Amino acid sequence: MSALIISISSQKGGVSKTTTSINVSVALAELNRKLKIAVVDLDPQGHVAASFAYNKSTLKKTIYDVLIGDISMRKIGIRTKYGVDIFPSNTELANLDVDITNNPEVFPNPLHVLHKALDDIREMYDYIFIDCPPSLTIATKNALTASNEVIILLSVST
């Protein structure tokens, strides 16, 4: 069975994309311990790792390294004590747009880089949540292309 891939997205910051990704994934893991759940952090702020008490600045390899083709997804996954695996990011991910755009020979399909990378783990999980950055970057477009579903968070002011 292939994972249901769900992006959590919004162009606005501060609408709880990371919080939603983490809380929904942990809640699903709590409801059914047999489910295999992952969270992929595509936000250069790297708050997914920090939310699970990992220091993002000490991570040797992240989703950035996967997306530029240096390492496979399986090699960067971190198992948390909550029954959720995370695939972390850090500020290095902010370079992705330039790296992909400036190398069309390496990235002939720039919006399918994540989809291809997820092939490495797609069969390992029931659900994969993607925490998107608060902008319409190549990372966000990759997340939307790779997803089966999208949850778009809104901020309502009164």
Range of the domain at 117: 4-152
Which amino acid is it at 9? S
Chain segment 71-82, per-residue pLDDT in tens: 999 999 999 999
Q: Is 102 exposed, middle or buried (0-12, 13-18, 19+ CB in 10 A)?
A: exposed
pLDDT of residue 34 exceeding 90 = yes
Question: Taking residues 140-154, what's their average pLDDT?
Answer: 94
Task: Work out how many domains the chain is built from and give that number.
Answer: 1
88 within a domain of the structure (yes/no)? yes
**CATH number of the domain enclosing 136:** 3.40.50.300
Question: Taking residues 57-69, what's their average pLDDT?
Answer: 93
157 within a domain of the structure (yes/no)? no
Find tokens 């000490």 and name the residue.
58
128, two tokens: 């994969």
Question: Taking residues 16-32, what's their average pLDDT?
Answer: 94
- Residue 55 has a pLDDT of 87
CA 31 to chain centre: 22
pLDDT of residue 154 exceeding 90 = no
158 within a domain of the structure (yes/no)? no
Nearest to 91 by CA among 127, 154, 53, 139: 139
51 within a domain of the structure (yes/no)? yes
pLDDT of residue 5 exceeding 90 = yes
pLDDT of residue 10 exceeding 90 = no
- Residue 156 has a pLDDT of 73
Cβ atoms of 128 and 122 closer than 8 Å: yes
Question: Taking residues 141-153, what's their average pLDDT?
Answer: 95
- Distance between CA atoms of 86 and 108, rounded to whole angstroms? 28
- Residue 125 has a pLDDT of 98
- The DSSP symbol for 23 reads H
- Residue 158 has a pLDDT of 64
pLDDT of residue 129 exceeding 70 = yes
Chain segment 103-126, per-residue pLDDT in tens: 999 999 999 999 999 999 999 999
